[in-house]
Amino acid sequence: MRNRGKVAFAEIFVATIAAVVLGAACSSSAGHSATGKVVTPPAPPAKPATTTTTQPTAIGLRTNADEQAELGPDKPLTPAQRQQVALQLVVARSTAMQYPTVADATKAGYILAGQFTPGAGAHYVSISRSAGSYTSHSSAVDPANPLALIYQGTAPTSRVTGLMYGSFTTTAPEGFAGPNDRWHRHTNLCITFDKGKIGVPFPPDSDVKKSACDALHGQFMRETLWMVHAWVVPGWESPQGVFSHANVDLHCADGTDRTDKVGFCTGASA
């Protein structure tokens, strides 16, 4: 039983890191340019870029239907839903503001997962909190307990911009009140762990095979848990909506959206 507990925690750890890394790495393709292209902010493209012409490997990208759905317009809310989601977002905003800077997050035990990504910023996660919060497979969201804190950079003074929530439910969770928090998953993720650093050698949602990940001694996931972003911090509201996949106002430190093959900024990100 004790060994099973250790295995369960390891599975949660990998799944949590996978969600956070993917939440960062995939947003550049959902609201920004294709790999290596510099765009003029803040105008986003009409739909996610799926070109693979700049990929250094033969790995091809696949359309993510969940991400496509997140780009749709918001639906009307009932008065009851409007009141409930407003209260939930107040709690979410209050939670984010408890950690106004990266220094506050790291002091509280949060660690950087992945790297900075245009549209998604830098994701910081607390493994201990995540392990205790996402084993229940509950469909309801706890706005006071996000999976990750999102920042505008990785410097100690970088400011918080939003939150990311996760769920291990089989189908998309009920989440926030109303129909506008469209949750998403990703497929075929390879994560490597080396000397305390987390690596993502292949683009998520690609046709990479497990054997390619095994060759790099990586952890391979066919499918991640459900996740959704919430851009609740004043001054960092997403032009595409509070639950939009990406926030088009988040750019690399050089003001561009230039990324590597996975989706991380190629230049400075602080």
Number of compact structural domains in the chain: 1
pLDDT score recorded for residue 40: 31
Q: For the segment 129-171, what is each residue's pLDDT rounded down to a tens digit? A: 654 454 445 678 999 999 899 999 999 999 999 999 988 888 8
Q: Which residue range forms the structural domain that includes residue 33?
A: 2-72+99-230
Nearest partner of 242 among 250, 230, 256, judged by Cα: 230
Q: What is the mean pLDDT of residues 207-212?
A: 92
Q: How far apart are CA 259 and CA 38, in angstroms?
A: 9
Q: How far apart are CA 157 and CA 151, in angstroms?
A: 10
pLDDT score recorded for residue 137: 56
| E strand or H helix that includes residue 84 | helix 79-96
Q: How far apart are CA 241 and CA 253, in angstroms?
A: 23
**Using 50, 70 and 90 to split pLDDT, how confident is the model at 34?**
very low
Q: How far apart are CA 104 and CA 126, in angstroms?
A: 13
pLDDT score recorded for residue 126: 83
DSSP annotation of 242 = T
CB atoms within 10 A of CB 267: 12
Residue 259 belongs to a domain: no
Residue 192 belongs to a domain: yes
Q: What's the pTM value of the predicted model, to 2 decimals?
A: 0.77
Residue 256 belongs to a domain: no
User: pLDDT at residue 21 above 70?
Assistant: no
Q: What is the mean pLDDT of residues 165-189?
A: 90
Residue 246 belongs to a domain: no
Residue 58 belongs to a domain: yes
User: pLDDT at residue 8 above 50?
Assistant: no
**Using 50, 70 and 90 to split pLDDT, how confident is the model at 5?**
very low
**Phi, psi for residue 160 in degrees, rounded to 5:** -70, 145
Residue 88 belongs to a domain: no
Average pLDDT, the chain: 77
Q: For the segment 49-86, what is each residue's pLDDT rounded down to a tens digit? A: 333 333 334 455 555 666 666 667 889 999 999 999 99
Here the tokens at position 207 are 């046709």
Residue 213 belongs to a domain: yes
Residue 236 belongs to a domain: no
pLDDT score recorded for residue 193: 81
pLDDT score recorded for residue 15: 57
pLDDT score recorded for residue 212: 95
HEC readout, 99-133: CCEHHHHHHCCCEEEEEEECCCEEEEECHHHHHHH
What is the percent of the chain where pLDDT is above 90?
40
